[in-house]
Structure 1
C-alpha cells in the first residue's frame, strides 16, 4: 500500500468535520512529525467547532421554549450605542426562521469587525424579517439615553414586515401588548438577540463611518463615537460637532 504524502493527509483533514472518521486512527499511528502536527492542528479546529456547536445549542434555549409554548414569530431585539459621545442609538429586531443554523453568532462585542460583517450578511439572507430603529443625538439629549434606547427598540419592532407573537429583549421591557421576556445579557444567551446585536452594530458602525467623512478629526470611522483618546483629542483641538450628545460628559462641560 502506497504511503500518503503529508500534503495529501493535510488536504484530507481539511474536509473532515467529525472525530468518527476511521482515517484519524490510522494517521495517529503515522510516526512522521508532519502528520502528527497536522493532526494536532486538525484537533484544535475540531475543538473550536465543537465549542461553537455547544454554544449554538445553548443559545437556542429561549427560542426553543417559546416554540414549545406555541409561538412561531419570535423576535430578538437589541440596541447598540448607549455609551458613545456622538451619533444615534440604533436598535434591531430580528425574526429568525425555526431551524435557523448559523454557527458563530454571538454578542456583537465579542466578534471582530470582519466576522460581524460575515454574520450580518448571512442573517440578512436567512431572517424572516429585520427591523431597524434609530434615535438621534438630539432626541437622546431630550429624553435621556435609556428612554432613547427603549424608543429605538419600539421603532425597530414597528419596522418589521410581520407582527411577532413573542419578544426576546436584551435587558429591557417594551410597552406593547405582545408577550415578552427580558433577558439579562441576552445578546450572549439568545441566538435571536445576538443576531439583532450584530445587525444593529454593523448598521451603526457603517453610519458612523459615513459621519467620519462629514466630521473628520474625531476618528468616528475607528471609534464609532465612543470616548477614545483619539476622539477626546479631536474634541480638544476642534470642539464638538453637530452629532455630539450635549448631555454626555465631558461634552456637557463644554456647552
Structure 2
C-alpha cells in the first residue's frame, strides 16, 4: 500500500522546523572527525574512478570531504570541474558527458561510479540512463527522484538560478527510472530540504534505499553516509548484495518502517 501511495501522491516539502534543523550539519561534520577510526574500517576500494556531483548552488568544494575520505579508502574520486551547480544551464550536460568519458579513458577504460548529492544525484541518473556502458554504480544522497522539484524547499532557488521550470517532466523523468546498474539512494527522514519520500528509489535486484539520521546539508560529511558510500563502492564489479545495516544498529541506520 505504501509503495502505491508513493507512486501517486506528491510528497509535501519538508516543514519549517526541519529546515531550521539543517544547522546541525556542522555537528555532523564534527562527528565524522570523532568517528574517523571507525570510518577507516570500511571496506577498501579497488582503485576505480568515482565522479562526485555537487548539489544545487554547491561546487566541488562541498564534496571535498567526501572525496578525501574515498581517496584514503582506496578509490580514485574526482570532482565534476564545472564550477558552481546552477542547474541544467547550457553546456552543463555536455560538460558532464565529457567528464565521464575523460575519467573512463584516464583510468584505462574502467567504468566510473557516480555519487550525486541532491540535484547532483539527478544528474548522475541522467548520465547513467544515456551512458550505462560507462557507469559501474550510482549512489544518490538526498536526491529528489520522485515527482518534481516542488517536493523540495529549493524549487524557487532552482528556477531563479537555472532559468528552468521546476515542473518540466522531461527533465525529471530520467531520475524516476531506476538505472540498469547497482543503485543506492541514501536519504533522511529529517531532511529539511528534500522530502524524504521523494528520495526513495524503487527497490529491485540491484537497487536499494538506505536511511540515515542526517540533515540534507550534512549528507556529504555525515559518518554514517560516508561509511555507507564506501561500503557500496567496494563491491566487486558485476556483483551486488544489499547493504547490511545490522552491523551498526538503528542508531546509525534505522530499520525500514521504523518511526
TM-score bracket for this pair, using the shorter chain length: under 0.3
Which is higher, the Rg of structure 1 or of structure 2? 1
Structure with bigger helix share is 1
TM-score for the superposition, normalised by structure 1: 0.28
TM-score for the superposition, normalised by structure 2: 0.27
